[in-house]
């Protein structure tokens, strides 16, 4: 395996030293050059493992970007502005410099896209590819999962169903004749787009009462909001992707399954007071984010219904192999 110093130097060549705020990479700890006075501090780690989190057909560069997207998406729905990140990497023995450059470029893509400094990390030899992205940042008004009350609206950004179909296509469990749907589904898996700007602005303006990122699937995300907030959720419509909806190769049941139980969407599922709906839609317009109302909260204790029928509490199961 390439040794750690070589890896670090290759990484530095690709994405350079932190441009501001932080000490240079190369010491054991990253720190700010000046003292800090800000809002609430937030931090999270998301470990991507090759075997379970990288679908067939995803490049290392895309996988590395994805490890950052997972953190960005969680920060987005809580209104936490990322301040920096660390990346701990486990490299399989057979990995060569080309593999490592791919990973470095994927991290650089994410850094540029979301404007988050990479301030440090660690590398090791491991049996699997492991990318543990650690992100930290600040939020004035951090939104949790338990803040919804009854008589609020339930909304989502974007739409659902494409990424799990894409995973099935990539792993050859599913074949779709429509080139348009195939392409869109694959693109949605390989290049997920978290809703950072929308989340930051909407949380900052205190328009969101509870939120969760949908990467484990729509149904389980709704259940989480409902259970933590001690309400029931009544869905009036499913935020199914239009291209998926219009396809006639898949059965209605399949489409619903993909939409409700698929996951990997990196959208924001959230609740909002009725009076704030116009303001939320305005944030959607400002940030170019599609936002739609899919239901409302009612008295209850953690159940989710779609048109009167109980939705199963099941979520994204990591694909194997």
What does the block give as tokens for 46? 């998301």
Calpha distance 290→265 (Å, rounded): 14
Nearer to its own copies, 100 or 181 (CB): 100
Those residues with Cβ within 8 angstroms of residue 33's Cβ, 6 or more apart along the chain or in another chain: 21, 22, 23
Q: Under the criterion CB under 8 A, does residue 230 sit at the interface with its own copies?
A: no
Smallest Cα–Cα separation from 32: which of 142, 117, 121, 122? 117
Other CB atoms within 10 A of residue 37 CB: 5
Answer for which of 6, 9, 127, 301 binds its own copies (CB under 8 A) is: 127
Nearer to its own copies, 44 or 273 (CB): 44
Smallest Cα–Cα separation from 136: which of 86, 82, 213? 82
Site for its own copies in 93-122 (CB under 8 A): 119-122
Calpha distance 271→274 (Å, rounded): 9
Nearer to its own copies, 22 or 160 (CB): 22
Q: How far is the CB of 242 from its own copies (least distance, A)?
A: 29
Q: Under the criterion CB under 8 A, does residue 161 sit at the interface with its own copies?
A: no
Q: Under the criterion CB under 8 A, does residue 318 sit at the interface with its own copies?
A: yes
Answer for which of 78, 81, 111, 296 binds its own copies (CB under 8 A) is: 78
Calpha distance 151→266 (Å, rounded): 26
Calpha distance 156→268 (Å, rounded): 6
Q: Under the criterion CB under 8 A, does residue 141 sit at the interface with its own copies?
A: no
Nearer to its own copies, 52 or 197 (CB): 52
Calpha distance 306→9 (Å, rounded): 53
What does the block give as tokens for 268? 């924001």
Q: Under the criterion CB under 8 A, does residue 206 sit at the interface with its own copies?
A: no
What does the block give as tokens for 205? 């303006």
Those residues with Cβ within 8 angstroms of residue 52's Cβ, 6 or more apart along the chain or in another chain: 318, 319, 320
Calpha distance 77→198 (Å, rounded): 9
Nearer to its own copies, 26 or 151 (CB): 26
Count of residues of this chain found to bind its own copies when the rule CB under 8 A is applied: 58
User: What is the pattern of x (binds its own copies, CB under 8 A) and - over residues 11-30?
Assistant: ------------x---xxxx
Nearer to its own copies, 73 or 105 (CB): 73
What does the block give as tokens for 299? 């008295």
Q: Under the criterion CB under 8 A, does residue 61 sit at the interface with its own copies?
A: no
Q: Under the criterion CB under 8 A, does residue 312 sit at the interface with its own copies?
A: no
Dihedral angle sign, alpha carbons of residues 229, 231, 232, 235: negative
Answer for which of 9, 33, 96, 151 binds its own copies (CB under 8 A) is: 33
Q: How far is the CB of 91 from its own copies (least distance, A)?
A: 10
Answer for which of 11, 53, 202, 217 binds its own copies (CB under 8 A) is: 53
Cβ atoms 74, 199 nearer than 8 A = no
Q: How far is the CB of 274 from its own copies (least distance, A)?
A: 25
Answer for which of 7, 89, 190, 291 binds its own copies (CB under 8 A) is: 89
User: Would you tell me which residues interact with its own copies (CB under 8 A)?
Assistant: 23, 27-49, 51-53, 74-75, 78, 80, 84, 86-90, 119-128, 130, 132, 134, 136, 139, 142, 144-145, 212-213, 318
């Amino acid at each position: 395996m390439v040794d750690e110093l070589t890896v670090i130097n290759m990484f530095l060549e690709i994405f350079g030293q932190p441009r501001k705020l932080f000490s240079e990479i190369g010491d054991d700890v990253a720190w700010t050059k000046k003292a800090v006075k800000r809002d609430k501090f937030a931090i999270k780690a998301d470990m991507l493992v090759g075997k379970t989190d990288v679908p067939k057909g995803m490049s290392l560069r895309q996988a590395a970007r994805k490890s950052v997207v997972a953190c960005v998406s969680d920060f987005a729905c809580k209104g936490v502005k990322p301040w920096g990140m660390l990346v701990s990497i486990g490299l399989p023995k057979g990995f060569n410099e080309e593999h490592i450059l791919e990973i470095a470029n994927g991290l650089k893509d994410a850094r540029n896209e979301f404007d988050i400094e990479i301030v440090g990390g660690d590398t090791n030899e491991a049996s699997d590819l492991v990318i543990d992205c650690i992100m930290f940042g600040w939020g004035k008004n951090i939104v949790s999962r338990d803040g919804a009350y009854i008589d609020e609206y339930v909304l989502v950004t974007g739409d659902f169903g494409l990424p799990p179909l894409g995973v099935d296509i990539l792993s050859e469990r599913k074949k779709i004749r429509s080139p348009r749907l195939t392409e869109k589904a694959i693109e949605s898996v390989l290049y997920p787009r978290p809703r950072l700007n929308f989340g930051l602005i909407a949380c900052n303006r205190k328009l969101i009462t509870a939120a969760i990122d949908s990467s484990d699937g729509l149904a389980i995300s709704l259940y989480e909001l409902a259970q933590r907030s001690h309400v029931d959720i009544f869905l009036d419509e499913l935020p199914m992707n239009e291209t998926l909806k219009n396809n006639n190769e898949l059965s209605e049941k399949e489409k619903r399954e993909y939409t409700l139980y698929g996951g990997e969407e990196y959208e924001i599922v959230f609740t909002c007071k009725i009076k704030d709906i116009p303001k939320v839609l305005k944030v959607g317009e400002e940030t170019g984010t599609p936002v739609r109302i899919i239901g409302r909260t009612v008295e209850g204790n953690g159940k989710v219904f779609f048109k009167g029928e109980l939705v199963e509490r099941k979520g994204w199961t990591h694909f194997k192999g």
